Structures are given as structure tokens and as C-alpha cells.
Structure 1
Amino acid sequence: MTDSFSPTAPQGVLPDHAISAMIDAGAIYATPAIPDGQVQPASLDLRLGTRAYRVRASFLTGAGRTVADRLPEFTMHEMDLTPGAVLEKGCVYVVPLMEGLALPEDITAVCNAKSSTGRVDCLTRVIADGGVEFDRIPAGYKGPLYAEICPRSFSVKIEPGLRLNQIRFRRGQAVLSDAALKARHADTPLVDQEPLIDDGLGFSVDLSPKDTTLVGYRAKPHTGVIDLTQIGTHKTSEFWEEIHSDNGQIILDPGAFYILVSREAVTIPPDCAAEMAPYLAMVGEFRVHYAGFFDPGFGHGVPARGVLEVRCHEAPFVLEHGQTVGRLVYETMAAAPTQLYGTGIASNYQGQGLKLSKHFK
């Protein structure tokens, strides 16, 4: 697609066919080559490379410096991931990714953890050379990418090629205003409830589900290893404690990690993409984890809830049914993707309710 790099090209999030054009043009490169299925409707999955560096602390490179230059300052030891390796809970690792970038001057990128990564409380962020922010890649960036990985609740097993992060490309700014969101909801509902629109589409927590008292899961403190290369094999009860409520509230414990679900079923129209953002910290002693890309077509025609990854901070906090806990920021697509989420591609969470990651039975 030659118009992908035209100065008059449309603004917005780049769809799958534009990402493929960037690969063909060398704006995205990789060793080994990017296989079929790695390009998603509005993002690209990123693959872990063959080495991992156990570092003393999380770090950013800073302007004018590279990750390779700074790794010797912080590295405690180096690991070969080829046979598979366990990343220990509470430790920080840096892993070079197989993909690198040579971005055009009008294209920026933003990264995020994939849904399955966030649901096992594995904090992972992308670092770039010269970076002063995690997960943000400036226009015109040329260089390698690295994943910083810090398992929080569980130790995890990984191997080269595993996809923990994803990257989304955009041209210009295309965030929908509150007025535009209200107009869209009036035309085609974005949620199945009365919308709370304020700097995005707010969503609340469901603690009074129909026909059950099960409202979520809390990570157990002492567990075995989650093998992130294995799908549908782990026994839920070995890693998670069920959380029940019969009064529409739960008390969050400091330091604990919870999987909850939104009260609203949300829809991402085919011409939009969205990102989950945390709600204001002043509403309570907790935050919703960043694992947040929603692809075009999510929930479109198939009601789907947003799964919430919640961590409580300094003090116990009472969370109540219907309390607003986060928001979705919608952006327009630069063009329609050739495939939608849940249509003709492997989409693990279309039509979801309260659901753990794909690694569990």
C-alpha cells in the first residue's frame, strides 16, 4: 500500500493491511521473519528473543542512550531462553524482542501487554533506545525493542517467540471526543447501560451478577509456575481463590491481585480501536492494571464484558457494585481492517464475561 506513507494519508490507528505494508517496506523488521497470524486487526504482536537479562531494577534509557549501553549497569546475570526458562516472581528481566522499527516520520507507536499477560499479573513494558517513557515510541524511531518483564503474583515459564506484548501504530491524533462518543452511542450503543462519558467511556465493576455469587478471583500467594507456553492446562484452584459476594461489595486486601469484570458489555465498532485506561487514583486505594488494547469488532454483535485486573494499594478498600473503576478511550481507525476481532482469527476473549487467562482449564 503505497499510500500508507503518503503525507495525505488518513489519520488514526493503522489497520492490519497498513501494518503489513510497513513490514513489506522495512519499517518493521524482524529476525526470524514475522509469521502469519502475528498481525492483529489494529496491532502487531511482539515476540521474545533468545536471551534474558536479570536486572537489579527497572530502568529507562534516557535521551541519547541505548538499552545495550545501560544493561551492563544493571545486569545481574544472563539467561538463555532457548530451552525455556522460569522468570521468578518479584524479579525484573529485560528481553530483546525479535522485532525492530524504522518508523516513518509521521508514525508513532504505543505498546501494551496482551490480555493474557495482564491476567496473570505479569507486568511487561516495552523499552526503546533513548526512551523517557515506557511503551511509547516516537515518530521516526529507528532501532531495537526490548521487553521489561516483572512477574508480580506468579513465577512464569517463557521461551523464544512467546508473545507477551503488542504494538499499535498511529498517524496523528484520532481520540474521539466526548461529544463524538455520545453521538456514536446514540446511533449505535457502545455499552448496554446508560453511558458514563467523561474523557472516554467509563465502566464500572459487577459485584451483583445474576444467578451466582461468584464475582471474581484473587491470586493465591504461594503457587507453582505458570507455563505461558501452555494453553488450557493449568488448574484454576492451584493459582486462584474464588471471591464471592451476596451483598454487592468486597473488601480489597492491600497488595492482593484480583480478576473482576465490568458491569457493562462494551462494543468497539469496526472503524474504531480502544484502549483501557485506569480511573483517577483519588477514587480509592486501588488501580486497574494496564492490559488494555481493544481491537475493532470486540463485542460487535456479541456482548462482551471488560475483564478488570485490579491491585489494591496501601489500605483495605471496600469496592461496591456499580462503582466506576476505569474508562475506555476510543480512537478512529485510519482505515477499516481486513479482519475484525473474533471474525476469522483466533480471538480468545470475544463474548467474554468473568474469565481468567487462556492458560487455565
Structure 2
Amino acid sequence: MTDTQSHGVLPSQGIAEMINDDAITLSHPADSDQIQPASLDLRLGDRAWRVRASFLPGERRTMAQRLPDFAMHEIDLKQGTVLEKGCVYLVELREALALPGNVSAIANAKSSTGRLDLFTRLITDGATEFDRVEAGYRGPLYAEISPRSFSVLARPGLRLNQIRFHRGRAALTDSELSALHDDVRLVDGPAHIDDGLGFSVDLDRGKDAIVGYRAKPHTGLIDLDKLGHYAIPDFWEEVRAPEGRIILDPGAFYILVSREAVHVPPDYAAEMAPYLAMVGEFRVHYAGFFDPGFGHSATGGTGSRGVLEVRCHEAPFALEHGQIVGRLVYERMSERPDRLYGADLKSNYQGQSLKLSKHFRG
């Protein structure tokens, strides 16, 4: 890769090239669907540690150097291990990096991970931030995992987070975003563009309709390999909003949905921006990547709602229908991917509305 190549998010074929060039190394052969249109799924390795606190290695320090300060015991994942709610774990990943000097990366939880309130972050050697990989990084990758609502059963090979690679500036300015919306319409209603594309919450879905779900505080275990297996009422309470309003309880976790149907054209990707304190006493969306083709009509979508993973913090908060709760930052691809969300992949959430993770029936 050279500096003469286009700036932007690297597409699926660029990620495959990085694997062939050993810029991404794999301790096990790649899964057939591991490469996504604009990201690479990361897989849990065999070793994990229960740690007493979340931590970062710090500049010029490796994870191996810091682990003795925090590790409580080592865990062999090969037979399957329960990751308990409220605990923090560190897991080696099957992927490592030897990035070129002009390529950086950012990581995020996968959609199903966020919808289980399974807080997952990427860590590198020398890291001073979570989920960020500096250009030119060479070394191993680790996932910090902290189940918040449900204890889970995990095994090697599970894909809980994903990584997106950037070359140069990728994010669109507001003027560029406005021009793109005028050209292809990014949402099905008015476009609220201010440091990204704003989106609001849908709490008016009809009389007595379910507007969301709230995680039950005491539930059974979720085996992350079992898809379409669990009954919704065993883990979730239905949320209704007859007056177009709900009050979020501190510490509770909710699955809600955006009022807008979102569209990500094939030559672009998007990311849910970090929580802003001025929005309210809650955090929206742990899983923030939207792939090229999400909600795109040519790939089986007519706009797809954004599913919102919401956790309330210090004080009860009244959330109103149509309230702006977050924003999407659109990024240009360095080139169009050779596969698109919903078209060439078994995409679980194309054309979605309110939807729990793929582990639940119905």
C-alpha cells in the first residue's frame, strides 16, 4: 500500500489484500464470512484472564507486562467458559496486526454483541485509548469483555467485535454530508445535519404497541453459539409508551429503535458517534458500525431503522418520541467493496425495525 492510493475506509478486497500481505496475521484460517464490506470480524482466542479492573497498558508498555498487576486467574476457553455478569475479562484474539505506516484502525462491538449489553473493547500493546489502533502498529490484539445484563457462555472463535481500517481522512464534513443526502437521501424524513446526521427515537408505534425491550435483572445464561434459541420473555420485559414517553431507570438497559430509516450508499460507511453528555443521562449504542449497503434498495433494504442500545446513568431520564439521541458520521470508502451488506452476505439486520439479537426466537 502506498500514499498514492485513495483515502478512506478500506473495503473487503483491501482487507483480503492485507491478510495476503501479512499486515493482518491469523493464528487460525479465516472464517468464510469473517471479512465484512468495510471491516474484519475479530475472533476470541484460547486464553483469557479474569481481571480485577479494566485497564490500558499505557505508552511503551505491553499487555504481557501489565497483566500481572491485574490478572486474578487465567482461563482456558477451549471447553467453553462462563463470563459472568458484572465481571471484567481480557481475551487474546486470533488476529494480530503489522499495519503499514499510512493505515490506522478503529474497533467496535458487533451488532449482536451490543444488543446483549455485552460491553466489548479492543486493546493493543502500548494503548492509551480503547478501540483505537495507531498507524503502523505491529503486535497482538486483545478484547476486554464485561457482560452487563446477562452472563454468557463463550468459546474460541466467537466474533464479538470488529475492526475497520482507514487510510487518511475518511469522514464527510457537514457540507459533504448535505450534498450526499440531496443526491441519494440518507434518511426517509428531514435530515438533521450537525457534526453528522442526527437520528431520533421512535416511541409512537401505535396504541399498546411494543416500542422497546428492557433487560430483566435476573436471568439464565446465554450460550453465544445458540442462534434463534432463547424465548424473549425469559430475558426481556416489553416496553410500551402510550403517551409517547418512557422514563429510563438508572442502571437499566433498553433496546429501542430510531424513528428514521437509515441508508448507507455502497461507496460509504457510517459509524454511530460516541455518546454526548449534553443529550441526557444515558448512553446510546454500544455497537456503532454501519456497512456499505445498509438499508440500500439494491441490496434488499428500503432504509433500515437503527436499533438503539440504551443505558441510563445517574438519574431517571424522561425520553420523548422524536427526541434526537445520537448522530451518524458518514465516511467515504477508498473504493467500493466487492461485497455489500444484505446483497452478498447473510446480513441479519437488513430492512430491520425493532429487533433483538439473533440469539432470540421471533
- TM bin, normalised by shorter chain, reads over 0.9
Shift of 1:210: 4.1
| AA at the equivalent of 1:101 | L
Say if 2:114 is the partner of 1:118: yes
Say if 2:334 is the partner of 1:334: yes
Say if 2:276 is the partner of 1:280: yes
1:296-344: CA deviation from partner (whole Å, max 9, x where unpaired): 0000011210000000111111000000001000000000000110012
Q: Which shifted more, 282-291 or 163-172?
A: 282-291
Q: Decide whether aligned partners of structure 1 residues 187 and 123 sit closer, same or farther in structure 2, where only a CA change above 3 A counts.
A: same
1:152-186: CA deviation from partner (whole Å, max 9, x where unpaired): 01101110000001000010011111111111111
Instruction: Give the match's secondary structure for 2:144.
Output: strand
In 2, are the aligned partners of 1:119 and 1:357 still within 8 Å (CA)? Answer: yes
| AA at the equivalent of 1:205 | V
User: In the aligned structure 2, how far is the partner of 1:211 from the partner of 1:286?
Assistant: 26
User: In the aligned structure 1, how far is the partner of 2:50 from the partner of 2:233?
Assistant: 30
Shift of 1:212: 5.2
| AA at the equivalent of 2:354 | L
Name 1:359's counterpart in structure 2: 359
Name 2:294's counterpart in structure 1: 298
Matches within 5 A, 1:244-255: 244-255=240-251
Name 1:350's counterpart in structure 2: 350
Matches within 5 A, 1:108-257: 108-210=104-206, 213-257=209-253
Instruction: Give the match's secondary structure for 2:145.
Output: strand
Q: Which shifted more, 56-65 or 286-295?
A: 286-295
Shift of 1:34: 1.5
Name 1:315's counterpart in structure 2: 315
Name 1:85's counterpart in structure 2: 81
In 2, are the aligned partners of 1:277 and 1:290 still within 8 Å (CA)? Answer: no
Q: Decide whether aligned partners of structure 1 residues 185 and 118 sit closer, same or farther in structure 2, where only a CA change above 3 A counts.
A: same
User: In the aligned structure 2, how far is the partner of 1:197 from the partner of 1:94?
Assistant: 38
CA RMSD after TM alignment: 0.9
Gaps of 5+ in 1: none
In 1, are the aligned partners of 2:207 and 2:242 still within 8 Å (CA)? Answer: no
Instruction: Give the match's secondary structure for 1:68.
Output: helix
Question: Normalising by the residue count of structure 1, what TM-score does the alignment of the two structures yield?
Answer: 0.98
Q: Decide whether aligned partners of structure 1 residues 119 and 261 sit closer, same or farther in structure 2, where only a CA change above 3 A counts.
A: same
| Aligned equivalent of 1:261, options 257, 261, 278 | 257
In 2, are the aligned partners of 1:54 and 1:94 still within 8 Å (CA)? Answer: yes
Instruction: Give the match's secondary structure for 2:271.
Output: strand
In 2, are the aligned partners of 1:122 and 1:149 still within 8 Å (CA)? Answer: yes
Q: Which shifted more, 280-289 or 81-90?
A: 280-289
| AA at the equivalent of 1:110 | I
Shift of 1:188: 1.1
Identity of aligned residues (%): 66
| AA at the equivalent of 1:91 | C
Shift of 1:254: 0.5
User: In the aligned structure 2, how far is the partner of 1:275 from the partner of 1:135?
Assistant: 13
User: In the aligned structure 1, how far is the partner of 2:29 from the partner of 2:98?
Assistant: 15
User: In the aligned structure 2, how far is the partner of 1:80 from the partner of 1:142?
Assistant: 25
Question: Normalising by the residue count of structure 2, what TM-score does the alignment of the two structures yield?
Answer: 0.97
Q: Decide whether aligned partners of structure 1 residues 279 and 91 sit closer, same or farther in structure 2, where only a CA change above 3 A counts.
A: closer
| AA at the equivalent of 2:320 | E
1:48-76: CA deviation from partner (whole Å, max 9, x where unpaired): 00111000000000001001111111111
Q: Tell me how many residue pairs correspond in the alignment.
A: 357
User: In the aligned structure 1, how far is the partner of 2:183 from the partner of 2:210?
Assistant: 34
Instruction: Give the match's secondary structure for 1:50.
Output: strand
User: In the aligned structure 2, how far is the partner of 1:263 from the partner of 1:210?
Assistant: 13
Name 1:27's counterpart in structure 2: 23
Shift of 1:280: 2.3
Shift of 1:35: 2.6
1:91-141: CA deviation from partner (whole Å, max 9, x where unpaired): 000000000000000000000000000000000000000000000000000
| AA at the equivalent of 2:178 | K
Matches within 5 A, 1:50-65: 50-65=46-61
User: In the aligned structure 2, how far is the partner of 1:290 from the partner of 1:199?
Assistant: 19
4+ residue runs over 6 A deviation: none
Shift of 1:282: 1.7
Shift of 1:283: 2.4
| AA at the equivalent of 1:320 | E
1:183-207: CA deviation from partner (whole Å, max 9, x where unpaired): 1111111000101000000000000
Shift of 1:211: 6.5
